[in-house]
Structure 1
């Protein structure tokens, strides 16, 4: 621009994010055209409010007041976002893309991104990233677009979900939207996929498919358990099943004793070679109150029960039916280095349903721990994990990585007024 040129603009707000201001450039006029435009405005009897304009002092140089560093950041941020969109032009089949976006169905996960969602993807470039937010805030949408943005940068990508439903839906949308040459670059994975691909041993029926032990299986076994051995009875209450709820016991075993990593991920501080198959009794008893359903005396009973009954009776029975404990299998994969550095980048969706040990095991899939994108919500926990956003921070810190974190507050599935009740 020359010094006499003019730009007319107005301020707007993003239609999907009321907290984000935009500038809309209306038109640009060269110096020679400015007077013509002013005469035209005068002929229309339009009154111009000049009350907010601070007059320049004589000899004042406006250029000295410009914060060039500030504007440089804005320009480059804008270019990053544009590059994000333009970079997908050779990846996406836009006919299929628009068809999927325009469909209305109950389990729809994919939407057009708003500005703050695009910013999250740009902010995650080259850095470990944690995305938190409520249901309907767009976490899966952003995770999916992050995947698309990696296709020309990475050769092997893993997209990990807990539920088969989400895994199947994301894989279907991905293959419908993207050009075929990218299809083999991405593996869509659940825990069951992982174990069936890498964990089968001679003790399993090779013709059958390994299945994860569920709470219902534990509940039926726990409530039918009638006989405790003398060693257990002599020290603890033999009516344990009447004293402690089956769900609380199962949650404690799966989320903490088997799947927990201790406060601040201390179980992993000495490296994966030192990780044991169970949280030590001392670390378990030392957990803060908000890490457990039980007080310290009750924890002693639950820990003993895990060693004597869950491991030696329940798991043995389940293995005969090709049912496996997901934490046990993750531990085996971790110790064998089975998964080491198989991918250039991993995206973990539904992180709240994975235990700490499982999330730690996933880190083994990628060499550069900055190449990890995790999204989750502590209010959407379906399984027993004791998940919290702060503990995901601890996961990265235990690996010597400082993650970037962004939270989405707005729920785009609900009416705006509901969000502020």
Structure 2
């Protein structure tokens, strides 16, 4: 730390840290977070920043036994209280809707309306503004004059109706509703990049604090590009309700910049001087210039917007990951794409949080001449000959120009501070007054650009994907990597079902498809499928399943066991780092299953996704664990290294109404990963009880050879394991119950059927029921059906509890069950015929016997005595004749 950082580090909370881009705010706050005890929360607007902060926090093996830390994006924080229905509405969603409303609201700008709704009407900690309250706002509290506010409120009401109709939600509106649900939970809270969240969002976080004042906030109001009317004065007033007391509260300011080059920092400071001179100081805390402490001088070049120049620039940068092109707004990207082929093209909203060695700014000023002319109006060059910013407020309170032009000033500031070294500013109006104020002039540009390797581009695509920049990641794969589809069939769920229908239902001739199913059975350890291939398909090779499974199961990824893997990496360049092998594995899954640590490292270095899954929901870690659970040598050998490389930082589950994040350092984490890995085998392999569930003994057996970095020795004990299972059982009354498991029987557990996990579908993430994510319907196809105790009934029960479609008869068993049913029908028919014949015989017997019995007189009557005497007389006569 430098002296300023060290001073902040030693201050107790509550603490507010103001610092520019590259000032080390995040690293400083994380070091302070390490001293907190109990449940602690780090929250920020960006999911990528939250994940990066978490990784930095636990780097170098940091542990704190008295602390349970959770790192969340703001949306994830809201979900941890209760998961909103639907999907979060973005600017693109709003823009598409507003374009259809434009005719009715011609006098309203879409960007300003979006900011007013999110930053004013719905942003207050005291609740959503009523129409009357909105009308009564002061002149500096709204972009719109009082005469137009009714129109804007009409738009807001239509916006709410549109959200409801389209199952979308606005985080501000959700924060307003969730305020009643929030309860004190955290002992300490860090809110990073606080300028990106609104007052009501901030208030919701603070309501989860057990003790007021145990917080640390950090941010930079000069980087506001999200609509929220942020000011540090508002933030302080939220904590200290007395405005005068709030004014006296000191904030810690970090002025050093460790990221940007000296020239980029100089231009950024000039812009801050212009902003302060033109609009006055927003607040005392944002009233500072940045001091560059980096060694790089860098270059800031103003380049005329000429076709020849752009062609030359495009030729140099299109193949380099060191150059990114920035435009002001999303709608400006189409024009930029006509001239620049690089996939690294971002609007300023997308660029937030990014940094590149070289930045090209395209028509930031020329595309908005009037706005920037107004921004520098009345500012003289001599006014900027200062080294510090004095605090002064704007004289005219009715002047809303700062709120109107804030986006343009801050967008340019953010763009300038994305460059680590060089800035290239392309403008058609190079004589615009703003460039004179910034001391920028057209000059000779000597740009050097090195073509990046395919490996570099693979890594860049993965990094952007993690940051939520799907558009740019896909553009890299399409235009740079030019990946081609694999030439072999991939046996995912659809292909397997197709084969099952052909072989078992249609009984297609030939052995090729039977062999493919057998290969699948050996790879995924499906003994029931092998049995059906023998019994129903008459495929005798499958009789050797148990003996040859381990060997044949590797057939589709044998090259991944080799020490030399250049061919595999070339294949990844050709088909993509996430291409699928014949058995629907990614290269990373195959390398993990092979225990090939160097190959795993090489694939991760190229951007392989450790969370990519197969059709059973299993990722690379699960493939490695499956091998370790059945092979002691694998468990004692490569698993220790593989676990450190492959284990995701956390697991997110929805327990039915809220997000629960299970971090990697928790006992529940590895237990959850274990049950996930073993899940399929509970139905496809013989178990002591056909519950389709887990008992502690089976888990301990799987863990018996695992290294200490995977499962700690004190956790690898029956008592501890039983405790973790029981304290997270859905019916358990326990304060920190995560409701992960359901008790099926005494000592037997299964996942809580109401759990769901995140799954990406196209550009969206959705919550998927856990038994759907684990593909229980496909597992049903290969599940055991022991006559004495059927697991099929358990599958039907679990599917019902999870709200999934009803269980169907396995395709492999259709003919056998149909044959059994035919035999049963034949047996029932015979039995019915036998019963009918017996009944007829009885009826015939009754018919022939009835007259005799009916003619005989009742015993004891005179007639009966006469007939008996007659019978005896005949009998005597008959004996005499003999």
Q: Check whether the contact 1:199–1:329 (CA below 8 A) recurs between aligned residues.
A: no
CA distance, structure 2, for counterparts of residue 330 and residue 406 of structure 1 = 28
Change (3 A) 1:331 1:399: farther
Q: In the alignment, which residue of structure 2 is the partner of 1:247?
A: 111
Q: In the alignment, which residue of structure 1 is the partner of 2:59?
A: 176
Q: In the alignment, which residue of structure 2 is the partner of 1:413?
A: 259
Aligned length in residues: 264
Q: In the alignment, which residue of structure 1 is the partner of 2:151?
A: 301
1:376 aligns with 2:252: no
Show CA shifts across 1:156-184 (max 9, x none).
10001100110110111122234345596
Q: Check whether the contact 1:213–1:318 (CA below 8 A) recurs between aligned residues.
A: no
Q: In the alignment, which residue of structure 2 is the partner of 1:223?
A: 99
Q: Check whether the contact 1:352–1:380 (CA below 8 A) recurs between aligned residues.
A: yes
Task: Give secondary structure in 1 for the equivalent of 2:10.
Answer: helix
CA distance, structure 2, for counterparts of residue 211 and residue 178 of structure 1 = 36
Change (3 A) 1:389 1:155: same
Q: In the alignment, which residue of structure 1 is the partner of 2:4?
A: 116
Show CA shifts across 1:207-244 (max 9, x none).
xxx53211110110111237xxxxxxxxxxx631x221
Q: In the alignment, which residue of structure 1 is the partner of 2:240?
A: 397
Change (3 A) 1:182 1:166: farther
CA distance, structure 2, for counterparts of residue 361 and residue 116 of structure 1 = 30
Matches within 5 A, 1:12-411: 113-123=1-11, 125=12, 127-150=13-36, 154-182=37-65, 185-200=68-83, 204=85, 211-225=87-101, 239-240=104-105, 242-261=106-125, 267=126, 276=127, 278-307=128-157, 309-312=158-161, 314-319=162-167, 323-336=168-181, 339-398=182-241, 403-411=249-257
Give ranges in structure 2 of 5+ residues lacking alignment: 271-882
Give ranges in structure 1 of 5+ residues lacking alignment: 1-112, 205-209, 227-237, 262-266, 268-275
Deviation at 1:116, TM superposition (A): 1.1
Structure number with the bigger relative contact order (C-alpha 8 A, sep ≥ 6) is 1
Q: Check whether the contact 1:342–1:365 (CA below 8 A) recurs between aligned residues.
A: yes
Deviation at 1:326, TM superposition (A): 0.4
Change (3 A) 1:300 1:351: same
Show CA shifts across 1:240-281 (max 9, x none).
1x22111111110011101134xxxxx3xxxxxxxx3x1233
Task: Give secondary structure in 2 for the equivalent of 1:395.
Answer: helix
CA distance, structure 1, for counterparts of residue 73 and residue 259 of structure 2 = 26
Deviation at 1:132, TM superposition (A): 1.1
CA distance, structure 1, for counterparts of residue 66 and residue 46 of structure 2 = 21
CA distance, structure 2, for counterparts of residue 318 and residue 157 of structure 1 = 35
Which has the greater radius of gyration?
A: 2
Show CA shifts across 1:118-146 (max 9, x none).
211222x1x32111122122221221111
CA distance, structure 1, for counterparts of residue 151 and residue 66 of structure 2 = 50
Task: Give secondary structure in 2 for the equivalent of 1:407.
Answer: strand
CA distance, structure 2, for counterparts of residue 254 and residue 224 of structure 1 = 20
Change (3 A) 1:409 1:359: same
Task: Give secondary structure in 2 for the equivalent of 1:156.
Answer: strand
CA distance, structure 1, for counterparts of residue 6 and residue 198 of structure 2 = 29
Q: Could you tell me the TM-score, scaled by structure 2's length?
A: 0.29
Deviation at 1:390, TM superposition (A): 1.2
Q: In the alignment, which residue of structure 2 is the partner of 1:4?
A: none
Q: Check whether the contact 2:26–2:53 (CA below 8 A) recurs between aligned residues.
A: no
Task: Give secondary structure in 2 for the equivalent of 1:384.
Answer: coil
Q: Check whether the contact 1:131–1:406 (CA below 8 A) recurs between aligned residues.
A: yes
CA distance, structure 1, for counterparts of residue 188 and residue 242 of structure 2 = 16
Task: Give secondary structure in 1 for the equivalent of 2:9.
Answer: helix
Change (3 A) 1:216 1:183: farther
Q: In the alignment, which residue of structure 2 is the partner of 1:5?
A: none
Change (3 A) 1:318 1:182: farther
CA distance, structure 1, for counterparts of residue 172 and residue 193 of structure 2 = 17
CA distance, structure 1, for counterparts of residue 124 and residue 26 of structure 2 = 25
CA distance, structure 1, for counterparts of residue 152 and residue 242 of structure 2 = 30
CA RMSD of superposed structures (Å) = 2.4
Task: Give secondary structure in 1 for the equivalent of 2:137.
Answer: coil
Task: Give secondary structure in 1 for the equivalent of 2:118.
Answer: helix
Change (3 A) 1:189 1:183: farther
Q: Check whether the contact 1:353–1:381 (CA below 8 A) recurs between aligned residues.
A: yes
CA distance, structure 1, for counterparts of residue 257 and residue 206 of structure 2 = 30
Deviation at 1:327, TM superposition (A): 1.3
Deviation at 1:366, TM superposition (A): 0.3
Q: Check whether the contact 1:134–1:408 (CA below 8 A) recurs between aligned residues.
A: yes
Q: Check whether the contact 2:34–2:64 (CA below 8 A) recurs between aligned residues.
A: no
Show CA shifts across 1:190-223 (max 9, x none).
122123332237xx4xxxxx53211110110111
CA distance, structure 2, for counterparts of residue 248 and residue 342 of structure 1 = 37
